[in-house]
Chains A and B, each alone.
Chain A
Amino acid sequence: MKTWRRHTLSGYSWLMLVFLYLPIAILMLYSFNDSRINAVWSGFTWKWYISLFENRQVIQALTNSLTIGIISSVLATVLGTAASLAIKQYSLRWRTIVNGLVYLPIVIPEIMMGLAMLVLFSQIHMELGKATLIMAHVTFSMPYVMVIISARLAEMGGELEEAAQDLGATPWGTLRHVTLPLIMPGIVAGFLMSFTLSLDDFIISFFVAGPNSTTLPLYIYGLVKRGVSPEVNALSTLLIVCTVLLVIIAELFRRKDSKTITF
């Protein structure tokens, strides 16, 4: 009786995994399908990938995505780390308030954030383009960096820093030689996470991108709207592979000598 219950549950869970992955797998599989319109399998081909790399717009979108991703995640990581270190010094009451503020962008509907940014940029007469995209991406990924790093800081406690200061280290020295190395896995994970978020973001970018700053997801949207072409499958597959690799690497860094699962 106990075993059948366990089997049902595990069977169900495997089914859920299939449900989560099957559509993605099918999408990836069909990026190698020779047929243009039909779902019928008509042979393996690389041609959609080849035509992608010959497409100037795709290369442009890719370059935009990478530039924006790198710049915004460096900024988000630096600002996020600094902010987490600062928050740690605050009194409990301030910390609660600031932490609430940090979680807000994570829980608010993305569309609202996109709109709000669009309105802000238009009110200060800032032309939509790479700069606005970078600012927006920093804003939505910084909270994630802060959550990861604050968790790491809390887990670490303050004893090592106190010890360093007792031994005569300057505050700057403590930060450089003690705190930063200790939270390094968190910093790297935060960086990779913001890079993933930036590379992947569609909704917010949709509102703040200018005509010459199309990113990969925006380009994919254009293709999806124009009708189904196997090139979309190929491009989506590339995006999926990049995302999955980045997430796994980020996870490995985050779990490095951290024993707790913080999801």
Chain B
Amino acid sequence: MWLGALFVLPMLLIVVLSFLKRGTYGQVVYEFTLNNYFRILDPLYGQIFWDTFVVAILTTVFSILFGYPLAYYISRLERTKQQIWLLLVMIPFWINFLVRSYAWVIILRSQGVVNTILQSLGLITEPLPLLYNSGSVLLGMVYTLVPFMVLPIYVSLEQMDRRKLEAAADLGATPWKAFWHITLPMTKSGVVTGSILVFVSSIGMFIVPDVMGGAKSALIGNVIQNQFLSARDWPFGSALSIVLMLLSMLLILLYFRATKASETKEGAA
């Protein structure tokens, strides 16, 4: 089948490639080696991996904080309004990542919209360095990925049994308590799905750091892209992406475990 040939096979090829050597001219030499993996142990790459995960985790956390209230609001609307709001949230998600990150460049660059306004108001004399730092990368990530969080949370809110909330209210729970003890635990699956989507997308992301981050805030996606297209060290690039995949799978698994565990605790209490 198509997916098998063009998806599974290439993935396996990357695994094979990561154990091979790079020739002098950037070609692949068919000789087994573990060197690519030893090279990753260099603290330089450790730092980049670490930065990548920090950004990805922060992106996920902010997406939950920003996305949950919006999803909650949409789920409380009447049917037709829900459809319109959902479409409104989905449209930016379909617009090109590159174009959306670039839109922020227009706003944040030193001659951009924000600096121009602040300067014409006389609040600042020198343009503020708003772009090309880790803050702008984080902003771009949250901006481009938050729809991924809203949709699954909305779905789980929509499927929730509302009668439980009524029961809680009858038993004297304040709305806040009811939300904390009923709504939130019951929509955990949506939060987990959304987090995984956001997390996975942000660890592999190289557009946002490329366009909004500048040279200093390179993440692992940029390094991998470089190994393939500029440095032409495909085996090392493959090894990096496999380590990235494995580490992110491990994190997702841990996250799954953690949320599952707290769910059973909740059930027992």
Report Cα–Cα, A17/B66, bound state, in Å.
11
- The listed residue (A21, A27, A206, A247) touching B90 by CB distance below 8 A is A247
Q: How far is the CB of B60 from chain A (nearest CB, A)?
A: 14
Contact status A83-B1, CB under 8 Å: yes
Q: Decide if B201 is an interface residue (CB 8 Å cutoff).
A: yes
Please state if A105 and B234 are interface contacts (CB–CB under 8 Å).
no
Contacts of A202 in B (CB 8 A): 96-98, 207
Considering the complex, give the chain A residue whose CB is closest to the CB of B9: A120
* A197 to B, closest residue via Cβ: B94
With contacts A5-B175, A79-B2 known, is A13 near B69, CB below 8 A? yes
Q: Is the CB of A27 within 8 A of B103?
A: yes
Contact-size category for B = 35 or more
Q: Check A101 for interface membership: any CB of B closer than 8 A.
A: yes
Name the prevailing secondary structure of the A interface residues.
helix
Bound CA span A249–B83, Å: 14
Cβ-neighbour of A116 out of B10, B221, B225 (below 8 A): B10
Task: Kindly state the separation between the CA atoms of A109 and B248 in the bound complex, as whole angstroms.
Answer: 10
Q: Is A177 on the interface with B (CB-CB < 8 A)?
A: no
Q: How far is the CA of A238 from the CA of B41 in the complex (A)?
A: 45
Check A107–B107 contact: CB distance below 8 A: no
Interface residue? A203 (CB, 8 A): yes
Are the CB atoms of A116 and B14 closer together than 8 Å?
Answer: yes
* A111:B221 contact, CB within 8 angstroms: yes
* Alpha-carbon gap, A15 to B57, bound state (A): 24
Name the prevailing secondary structure of the B interface residues.
helix
- Cβ contacts B206-225/A at 8 Å (1 or 0 each): 11000100000000010011
Nearest to A1 among chain B residues (CB) is: B175
Least CB distance, A254 to chain B, in whole angstroms: 11
Contact A228 B105 (CB under 8 A): yes
B91 lies within 8 A of A244 (CB): yes
A105 / chain B contacts, CB cutoff of 8 Å: 3, 7
Q: Does B112 make an interface contact (CB < 8 A)?
A: yes
Q: Which of B40-99 contact A (CB under 8 A)?
A: 66, 69-70, 72-74, 76, 82-83, 85-92, 94-99
Q: Are A120 and B6 in contact (CB under 8 A)?
A: yes
Q: List 28 A-B contacts (CB under 8 A).
A: A13-B74, A23-B104, A24-B92, A39-B112, A39-B113, A40-B120, A101-B4, A105-B7, A109-B205, A109-B221, A109-B245, A113-B7, A119-B13, A119-B238, A120-B10, A135-B6, A196-B94, A200-B94, A202-B96, A202-B98, A203-B207, A228-B109, A236-B99, A236-B103, A239-B96, A243-B94, A243-B96, A263-B86
6 closest A-B pairs by beta carbon, nearest first, are A109-B204, A116-B10, A23-B103, A120-B10, A27-B103, A13-B73
